[in-house]
Amino acid sequence: MPRIEFRGVRHAYGERVVLDEVTTTLTEHRIAVVGANGSGKSTLARMINGLVVPSEGHVLVDDLDTRRSGRHVRRRVGFVFTDPDRQIVMPTVSEDIEFSLRRSDLGRAERRDRVTSVLAEFGLADHADHPAHLLSGGQKQLLALAAVLVTEPDVVVADEPTTLLDLRNSRIIAERFARLPQQPVVVTHDLELIEDFDRALLVQDGRIVADGAPRETIRRYRESVA
């Protein structure tokens, strides 16, 4: 698995410090980040592919520093936004997935194969030629995830990827993450999704306050709001 390192990370938007004293190394397969709204989870997630560069400290992915090598890092780390409308750029479902492969050096036939198999896997095959904007919210969320996974990045950071999904589709995503050769880092409030993840971090007021097996982290999270 890739090695994601936070070294003495502190981040402020203007005067407001939203992450502080974050030092940790992530090498496990499936990693969850949980915590209250506004605690700094999305900021932490965005740092992994260099969308946000920390005010102080460093974030490294396999020794590539996001501060200096943002473009290289982004090639290895896919990011799935909470709001799929931010990510869907092409008119139809299959075109949108194909668009993700625009920079790959795969041949035409191989691209087609990849698109077809990812559409089938995410239950979108019947919608391949449909206008993407007419999909349901949940289908759009599946499409956004499919469009990132089709590029086979080394790390997949997903910010609340199941907020719009029903129970069945959430389970499909959980199973997909379990089989993924890549490293998924998932910010979520969906505690069922992460039950059998390999590691879970609890972020509170910009700091990691619990870190370990999901069951234990979830217990601490529940206690913190009791």
- Note the residues at the interface with ligand ADP (CB under 6 A): 13, 18, 35, 37-43
Taking the complex as a whole, how short is the minimal distance between the CB of residue 53 and ligand ADP, in angstroms?
12
Nearer to ligand ADP, 124 or 202 (CB): 202
CA dist., res. 49 & res. 210, Å (int): 23
Nearer to ligand ADP, 18 or 132 (CB): 18
Taking the complex as a whole, how short is the minimal distance between the CB of residue 13 and ligand ADP, in angstroms?
3
Taking the complex as a whole, how short is the minimal distance between the CB of residue 33 and ligand ADP, in angstroms?
8
CA dist., res. 174 & res. 155, Å (int): 16
Nearer to ligand ADP, 43 or 94 (CB): 43
Nearer to ligand ADP, 76 or 189 (CB): 189
The stretches of the chain forming alpha helices (DSSP H) are 41-48, 70-76, 93-100, 108-121, 137-149, 167-179, 214-225
Contact 136, 118 (CB under 8 A): no
Taking the complex as a whole, how short is the minimal distance between the CB of residue 49 and ligand ADP, in angstroms?
14
Residue 1 makes CB contacts below 8 A (sequence gap 6+) with 27, 28, 29, 183
